[in-house]
Structure 1
């Protein structure tokens, strides 16, 4: 089982895969800030995750900006926090271009509006991200994205 993480400045969307790593579904929204790494570590342990995929927000041109740097720092801190639960390579960064836009569109199409959509959009974006990583791995036969080394 794998977790997908969509890191925002206020909220963190979390999704999970099925045990076979075929289908991603929304799981939870975690408030960003004090205790967020601990909550994600609890989810890793609770769901017996073997890998965490963190979204790397890259521009359409492929360039990394401030949001990408923030996601990279978060992923490094998370890898450090999870070092006892996951072996090296257990946290990866994966290109998340347009995941929130895709999640918003899917929620709109399914009739989820207003406050209800804001409450789940981060989880939905994490599910889009994780599904893309799972599909990419299945197509290429290679693990998704890049391995993140932990920082303390």
Structure 2
């Protein structure tokens, strides 16, 4: 497989959502009917991507996932900056190791939305820092599965 259009993603089966950052990779998963997304884990990214990919593939295999949605961190004006190139590089690295469908989802403001929800839930700063990446991944994935469902 390769990078595909979001609407080409199968509309049933577990999907993983990824919120790529420079130091962490937030991971979320959908249910098999793609109705809901939930935060799963925040993986630490070291200087080498190999261990992070191994942990990601373990999550993918354990959940019998069928594809991945990667958050695309566009600038607020819709232009592409260095973080977009990093997200696309992550997709390339995944595809070098596994032949799975990958689609991108605009992730503008997802970390801020997750942070705001956690503030409203009165979570401590330390707890918010622990949860923000995987919560943002869940928002990215929920947006994607809602888009897929609305076009099926």
With the shorter chain as reference, the TM-score category is: 0.7 to 0.9
Gap runs ≥5 in structure 1? 142-152
- Distance between the aligned counterparts of 2:72 and 2:117, measured in 1? 21
Partner of 1:28: 41
Partner of 2:78: 62
Render the CA deviation track for 1:11-33: whole Å, top value 9, x for unaligned: 11000001110100000010012
| Highest RCO, 1 vs 2 (Cα 8 Å, sep ≥ 6) | 2
> RMSD of the alignment, in Å?
1.0
Partner of 2:15: 2
Task: Measure how far apart 1:130 and its partner are.
Answer: 0.2
Render the CA deviation track for 1:44-75: whole Å, top value 9, x for unaligned: 10000001101110012110000011111011
CA contact (8 A) 1:41 1:81 kept: no
Render the CA deviation track for 1:101-142: whole Å, top value 9, x for unaligned: 11111111112121111011000000000000011111123x
| 3-state DSSP of counterpart to 2:55 | helix
Q: Which moved further from structure 2: 74-83 or 58-67?
A: 74-83
| Residue among 88, 106, 110 paired with 1:95 | 106
| Residue among 110, 128, 151 paired with 1:140 | 151
Q: Which runs of 4+ in 1 moved over 4 A?
A: none
Partner of 1:80: 96
Task: Measure how far apart 1:78 and its partner are.
Answer: 1.2
| 3-state DSSP of counterpart to 1:55 | strand
- Distance between the aligned counterparts of 2:18 and 2:127, measured in 1? 20
- Distance between the aligned counterparts of 2:79 and 2:138, measured in 1? 23
CA contact (8 A) 1:75 1:93 kept: no
CA contact (8 A) 1:57 1:67 kept: yes
| 3-state DSSP of counterpart to 2:96 | helix
TM-score, normalisation: structure 1? 0.86
- Distance between the aligned counterparts of 1:112 and 1:75, measured in 2? 32
Partner of 1:38: 54
- Distance between the aligned counterparts of 2:142 and 2:119, measured in 1? 19
